[in-house]
Chain A
Amino acid sequence: MQINGQESYLDAGISVSEMLEALDIEAKKVIIEINLEIIEKDKYSETKLHEDDKVEIITFMGGG
């Protein structure tokens, strides 16, 4: 699968939650788009990633 435009070393079949954990990204600070669809926050553990998925992770920085 692709994450933010780059082919990822992560294995297909893991959940969005597992992907974030593997990448050491805090789930509360992101929005996740898979194949252009935004994933609801409470669906991160049930949403599995597939080989041909294109994932975009947008991480919000503190400050405003």
Chain B
Amino acid sequence: MSEYSIQTKKDQIPSQEEFEAQLVARHTPGVHAKVKNAVVGIAGLGGLGSNVAVSLARLGIGKLILVDFDRVEPSNLNRQQYFTRHIGIKKTKALKELIKEINPFVEIETRDIFLDKDNVLDCFKDVEIIVEAFDNPESKATLVNTVLTKDKEKIIVAASGMAGYFSNNTIKTKRIRDNFYLIGDGVSEVVDGCGLMAPRVAIAANHQANTVLRIILGERDV
């Protein structure tokens, strides 16, 4: 029996070496080595953050620091990566569990806190890249302001404007400053009659995830 058929046995989880070999084969050894060494912080685990985390986990990212104070609610399931079995569970716990089913060898740290200007720098002191993935515009502005004014070494990848079902192509990645990327259409906020929907939120989230990947691989232009 070949090794291949052993690996495809139902319910058998591949070993770490097998995971690594698959990722190296798909992504090339040089790319995988850089991705595996990266540490990324994700602020907010809603529609943006849960999608970014899942994409980065599938890439075989080295370590994620996942931050959210909230629990999974039924209204989250229209766009966030959770399942019905997660309702009522802390998002940090649910997402960690879910990522372990995708790639058990991604290191995960979780923090059940409400991030504000006083704790954000400490929370993300070990990361090179911070993904801003909040829902609330005031929290978005506070996080970006704090990081850009207090720690000029960090790179922040934020998002603004992804509600509704407007054209795909209005969602753009912009490099506002050397260390600040902003993704979205810049205008579509959540209002009555224009809610958040899975496709556009996931488009924005994966702009964020690909921006993180590009930064890890030394591609700083958009």
A interface, CB within 8 angstroms of B: 28-31, 33, 36, 38-41, 56, 58-64
Residues in A neighbouring B140, C-beta threshold 8 A: 29, 60, 64
Q: How many residues of B contact A (CB 8 A)?
A: 36
Chain A residue with the shortest CB-CB distance to B188? A61
Looking at the assembled complex, report how far the CB atom of B212 sits from the nearest CB atom of chain A, in whole angstroms.
16
B interface, CB within 8 angstroms of A: 44, 46-49, 117, 133-138, 140-142, 144-145, 148-149, 158-163, 176-177, 182, 184, 186-190, 196, 201
Looking at the assembled complex, report how far the CB atom of B170 sits from the nearest CB atom of chain A, in whole angstroms.
12
Residues in B neighbouring A63, C-beta threshold 8 A: 47, 135, 161-163, 188-190, 196, 201
Looking at the assembled complex, report how far the CB atom of B150 sits from the nearest CB atom of chain A, in whole angstroms.
9
A41 with B138: CB separation less than 8 A: no
Q: How far is the CA of A29 from the CA of B139 in the complex (A)?
A: 8
Q: How far is the CA of A40 from the CA of B146 in the complex (A)?
A: 8
The contact sample of 20 A-B pairs, CB cut-off 8 A, is A28-B138, A28-B142, A29-B140, A30-B141, A31-B144, A38-B145, A41-B117, A41-B142, A56-B176, A61-B189, A61-B190, A63-B135, A63-B161, A63-B190, A64-B46, A64-B48, A64-B49, A64-B135, A64-B159, A64-B162
